Amino acid sequence: MKNFKQWLNASLCVSIVGLGAISCSSSDDNKEDDFIQYDFSKVADTYVNKTVIPTYASMKTNAEKLKNAVITYQATPSQENLDKACAEWVATRVDWEQSEAYVFGVTEDYDEALDYWPLDKVQLDKILADTKPITDIELTRATGGFHTLEYLLFRDGQARPAAGFTDKREIEYLVAVATKLYKDTDGLHTSWKGERVNKFLAKPTEAITQIIDGINGIADEVGPGKIGDPYKSKNVLEVESWYSWNSLTDFKNNIRSIENAYLGGFDADNRGDNLSAYIKSKDANLDAEVRKTIQDAITAIDAIPEPFRNQLDNPESADEIEAAIEACNKIGEMFAGKIKPLVVY
Q: CA neighbours within 13 Å on the CB side: how many for 55? A: 32
What pLDDT is attached to residue 10?
41
40-343 is classed CATH 1.20.1420.20: yes
Query: Using CA atoms, how far apart are residues 341 and 345, in angstroms rounded to an integer?
Result: 7
Q: What are phi and psi of 159, to 5 degrees?
A: -60, 135
What are the sequence ranges of the domains in the chain? 40-343
Degrees, nearest 5: CA angle 38-43-44: 115
Query: Taking the model in full, what pTM does it have?
Result: 0.89
Q: Give dist(CA 274, CA 187) in Å, integer.
A: 26
pLDDT per residue rounded down to tens, the chain (345 residues): 554 444 344 444 433 333 333 333 334 444 555 545 677 999 999 999 999 999 999 999 999 999 999 999 999 999 999 999 999 999 999 999 999 998 876 576 799 899 998 889 999 999 999 999 999 999 999 999 999 999 999 999 999 999 999 999 999 999 999 999 999 999 999 988 877 788 889 999 899 999 999 999 999 999 999 999 999 999 999 999 999 999 999 999 999 999 999 999 999 998 999 999 999 999 999 999 999 999 999 999 999 999 999 999 999 999 999 999 999 999 999 999 999 999 875
> DSSP letter at 309?
G
Q: What is the pLDDT of residue 3?
A: 45
DSSP 118: S
282 CB burial (10 A radius; 0-12, 13-18, 19+)? middle
pLDDT recorded at residue 34:
53
For residue 154, the SS3 value is strand
Nearest to 207 by CA among 38, 29, 24, 4: 38
> In Å, how far are 8, 94, 180, 183, 188 from 60, measured between CA atoms?
25, 12, 12, 8, 9
SS3 at position 158: strand
In contact, 67 and 182? CB cutoff 8 Å: yes
